[in-house]
Chain A
Amino acid sequence: MNTQAIKELLYKMADDLLIIGHRNSEWTGLGPILEEDISFSSMAQDKIGQSQAIFQLLNDLGEQEPDTVAFMRGAAQFHNARFLELPNGEYDFSLVRHFLFDHADQLRFEALANSSYEPLAKVAKKVKGELKYHVFHANTWLVKLGQANENSHNRMQAALNQAWNYALGMFEESAHEDALITEGIFEGELALRDKWLATITPIILKAGLQIPASNEWQPIYGGRICQHTEHLSPLVEEMSEVFRYDPTAEW
């Protein structure tokens, strides 16, 4: 097994989940209604739990403890896609990001359930139910707001346009892509992107929304090689503030 390739795959997945989990948790107490606040917060917590499971796999491969890796690194050491570090903006943008990311995440884990790297295949099977709910939640909101009235439709369309190139950036290829594919560890970012497009397109159409024209697609890469927007650093600082007061504290 190509450990280097596996570690890189695990880092980007864990960082994606940790960063979006933290971003989404910023809505806690501010959600549009109580029921949605609880649902969205609960899913954010699921994502952080999933990231922990993957940091644990990294730990098993010789990396540091999950808490240390999650909270002691600086922004320039994170491998998450830039899409996930963007500020929440209004709820429309957060919902669209939730929709675009969670479908990619579900398809990634689905593919990994058959990975030749068994510890990851195990985690993938374990999170299946959570992801099913997350995607169901995202689809329901997207279709509802896409169709509810002119205002909600326009806002969802604007959010989708704004998110699109960042979302394409989630599928930035790794230098180890070939090794991952030939060793049967992961099917690769391009295969994943195709599946993702095929999955989300009918739902977006059902919501009465439009995917930006493909000649305007310009994926925003960089996150996988630790090049981030100015938004990640304040997020990491806030997220790790308490842990860094006393990294040795027992929780």
Chain B
Amino acid sequence: MIKSLDPRITRAEIDLENPIDPLKELDQWETYEVFHQKRRGDQHMHVGIVHAPNAEMAFIFAKEQYGRRGLSVNIWVVKTRDVYSSEYDDSDIFETVPEKQYREAGGYKVMEKINKYKKGV
């Protein structure tokens, strides 16, 4: 006897008294990282992940997940396990001594802002 008013439950005839077992953890497709490009020439931005059995399916999911609202011209998908990641324990390798500020790329950030302003973003 289904008493729920949720159309998804009534339509699927989900038995609330005897719920089915949920999938085991990790009993699912692997993840792909999704990179989304708004306009031609812009950098692709990392926007999240999708689960998929292959790259083509990752793309069809990513398109609706991340590309259906707003501007989009291109999407990249990359297997999460193909991304080499540094360890947070090693984040001290990014530290530098204060007198080397001339090597910091602050100027580029400013240029980015100026260019964006020029393009009218």
Contacts and interface: CB of A to CB of B under 8 A. Distances in A.
Interface residues of A, number: 19
Contacts of B65: 35, 38-39
Which DSSP category, helix, strand, loop or mixed, fits chain B's interface? helix
Nearest to B58: A35
Interface in B42-99: 50-54, 56-57, 60-61, 63-65, 68
Contact of A39 (B29, B54, B60): B60
B11 interface: yes
Interface in A17-58: 26, 28-30, 33-36, 38-39, 42-43
B60 A140 contact: yes
Nearest to B8: A29
Interface residues of B, number: 18
B8 A30 contact: yes
A137 interface: yes
A30 B28 CA distance: 16
Contacts of B50: 35
Nearest to B68: A42
B54 A36 contact: no
Interface in A116-160: 133, 136-137, 140-141, 144, 148
Given A42-B68, A140-B56, A35 B61 contact: yes
B67 to A, nearest CB: 9
A33 B8 contact: no
A144 B50 CA distance: 17
B12 interface: yes
Interface of A: 26, 28-30, 33-36, 38-39, 42-43, 133, 136-137, 140-141, 144, 148
Given A35-B64, A36-B61, A140-B57, 15 more contacts: A26-B11, A33-B28, A34-B51, A35-B50, A35-B65, A38-B61, A39-B63, A39-B64, A39-B65, A42-B64, A43-B64, A133-B60, A136-B60, A144-B56, A144-B57
